[in-house]
Amino acid sequence: MNTEVYRFKVGDFECMAVNDGTYTYGPPIFPPPVTFLFANAPKGKLDKVLSEHSIQPEQWTAWVSPYICLIVNAGKHKVLVDTGADGMDPNTGRLLQNLQAQGIGPKEITPSV
């Protein structure tokens, strides 16, 4: 299975989610995940849910976020929804190579108007 691409259909549209890479969020730029992601969660309930998933808040210091872009093949047009993060981190910027691995070059994307 290719973890860089996920294909699916929406009606007649052929869609492909393409990985641009990942970015690790954590200190010193971002607070730990429990503080940042669940700032408004009631502490007692949050502790219970984290415990049910064997997550120790004090040990969860960072999280890895994928940057996924979407190609929609609408027949006459190929639309790219680019949420990539080229240049954000050495682990990002893989969109073009992953598209090319699927046989899609930049000129095949319908230009925006």
> pLDDT (tens digit, 9 = 90+) per residue, 65-87?
999 999 999 999 999 998 778 88
Nearest to 25 by CA among 40, 14, 35: 35
Question: CB neighbours of 99 closer than 8 A, spacing ≥ 6?
Answer: 18, 71, 105, 106
Q: Return d(Cα 86, Cα 20) in angstroms, integer.
A: 8
Q: What is the mean pLDDT of residues 24-41?
A: 92
Q: Return d(Cα 60, Cα 54) in angstroms, integer.
A: 11
| pLDDT value of residue 82 | 85
Greater confidence (63 vs 2) lies with 63
**Residue holding tokens 């007649």?**
12
Q: What is the mean pLDDT of residues 9-19?
A: 95
* pTM of the predicted model over 0.85: no
